[in-house]
Amino acid sequence: MTDTLSPFRNEPYADFSIPASRQAMEAALAAVRAQFGHEYLLRIAGEEIRTAEKLRSLNPSKPSEVVGVHEKATPELAARAVEAAHAFLPEWSRVPAGQRARTLLRAGAIIRERKMEFDAWLVYEAGKTWPEAEADVSEAIDFCEYYAREMLRLAGPQPVVQLPGEKDELFYLPLGAGIIIPPWNFPLAILAGMTAAALVAGNTVVIKPSSETPTIAAKFAEVLAEAGFPPGSFSLLVGSGAVVGDVLVKHPKTRFVAFTGSRDVGLRINELAARHQPGQVWIKRVIAEMGGKDAIVVDANCDLDKAVEGVLVSAFGYQGQKCSACSRAIVDARIYDAFLEKLKTRAEALRVGPADQPGNYMGPVISEGARRSILNYIETGRKEGRLVAGGASADGEGYFIRPTIIADVDREATIFREEIFGPVLAVTRARDFDHALELANDSEYGLTGAIFSNDPEHIRRAREEFFVGNLYVNRKCTGAMVGAHPFGGFNMSGTDSKAGGPDYLLLFLQAKSVGEKTGHQA
């Protein structure tokens, strides 16, 4: 099969300025809206299950609209799902890697065929604007394509030294039954990426999606089934982390947990997984991506307009709700005032409103709770710095917040140090480049960062000294592309898992070495 696969290429984005693409998206939005309020059942190893309690997913652009109704899992169902995944592991793990890869490629092809439909679900349930939704779905396709190829590479003979008189081998085995816990902010891409990696490596999984975006997860489960993943290879379990999440993580037959989300939840998962449970015969593996407090350094010697645009897009794309979003701009004092003035003008021109309306650059934040938390941070920021733009909710029924810029922020300020996860940018003045690097690294996180500079020596130093897992030079700090920018961060940003890179599948595999004596040597 390796010879029949072309080299990996990133999925191209639809151009919504083209009338045909725009009309296709409008038709998809109408078709998806017609499905609002549909009830989705739990899936445990192919069995669809109803429960007494329901979860209603809302449209954050218009919270009076129910996108989907979902069954809430119980602790008993969570334990049952892990047992089912563990029981099916011997069968799925013996399926040849080439067959698993073909199944994953079919899943990617199905998402591609339904691309505008998935775009529409992301618009309505996650509050993504058209371009942000398109990037999310394209990344999901990329993960399917990339990991299928990676599994074929890892399934072949691995290079080991051959000792005289021996046949020496190294090959990879799946880990076991795992838990997939994706976030709401990339509810298809990250869900698809973590699940695809686990399944193509021969593991079985229990998927517990975010309670904010369960409909997208239910639609993805449909794709897995249609692609040919056996019913026993995956389960879909909607429910709160407090009710079912701990059960899934602590279960003695859970072999690994793949998680993307907040620092506090990630640390709790890591702690629970580290505790040995009666009957557990392995050390559980945790693959975690836990957010950031990402900085862009704006050097005195830079293209100022490009720097302003890079900061703007990084800070306010998808309402700042990306773990890679720029939430700190650290600007050389010599261009600080000019940078702020240009940024203020650009930010105030951004349109905020319902995500399904293509003229809006920013949609809603994900929930009323998120809006309250962000507005509280803004109030704190008003006391810690100088409000330059935004600072309040925007008009409309949805959870809208204006793009907010707070200048003159000290390194000890709350809004300099804590992850806000919303459209709030702290701007800090640096004395010089040394000071800027010092400020950029003054964080417990280390996910993404960027530098805008035309100084080769400053760029060299940033490559060596800017302590983040993903560094970008003279471009935005968001938008990591599968294959080109393996994604994952340092420190409290997680386990530096490097999703979309050549190391990632190894996190879902374990290596076995076999040395066989040949001939008659003793």
Q: Is 323 a catalytic residue?
A: yes
Quote the CA–CA distance of 497 and 509 in Å, as a whole number.
13
Quote the CA–CA distance of 346 and 350 in Å, as a whole number.
7
Catalytic one of 125, 150, 212, 323: 323
Helices within 295-367 (DSSP H only): 304-316, 336-348
Catalytic one of 71, 150, 289, 419: 289
- Is residue 65 classed as helix, strand or coil in its secondary structure? strand
Q: Is 289 a catalytic residue?
A: yes
Q: Which two tokens stand for residue 324?
A: 């890679």
pLDDT tens-digit map of 117-141: 999 999 999 999 999 999 999 999 9
Q: What are the φ/ψ torsions at residue 254 (nearest 5 degrees)?
A: -75, 125
Q: For residue 244, what is the DSSP state? A: I
pLDDT tens-digit map of 294-348: 999 999 999 999 999 999 999 999 999 999 999 999 999 999 999 999 999 999 9
Class assignment of domain 25-290+497-510? alpha beta
Residue 522 in this model has a pLDDT that exceeds 60 = no
Determine contact, residues 265/259, Cβ cutoff 8 Å: yes
Residue 2 in this model has a pLDDT that exceeds 80 = no
- Is residue 30 classed as helix, strand or coil in its secondary structure? helix
Local confidence band at 4 (pLDDT 50, 70, 90 cut-offs): confident
Average pLDDT in the chain:
97
Local confidence band at 520 (pLDDT 50, 70, 90 cut-offs): low
> Rounded to the nearest 10 degrees, how much is the dihedral formed by the CA atoms of 465, 506, 195, 182?
-30
3-state SS of 352-409 is: ECCCCCCCCCECCCCCHHHHHHHHHHHHHHHHHCEEEECCCECCCCCCCECCEEEECC
Quote the CA–CA distance of 421 and 261 in Å, as a whole number.
11
The residue extents of the domains of the chain are 25-290+497-510, 294-481
Quote the CA–CA distance of 120 and 61 in Å, as a whole number.
13
pLDDT tens-digit map of 341-384: 999 999 999 999 999 999 999 999 999 999 999 999 999 999 99
Quote the CA–CA distance of 156 and 199 in Å, as a whole number.
18
Q: For the residues 418-423, what does the mean pLDDT come to?
A: 98
- Evaluated on CA atoms 64, 70, 71, 72, the torsion sign reads negative
Local confidence band at 385 (pLDDT 50, 70, 90 cut-offs): very high
Q: Give me the CATH topology for the region 294-481.
A: Aldehyde Dehydrogenase; Chain A, domain 2 (3.40.309)
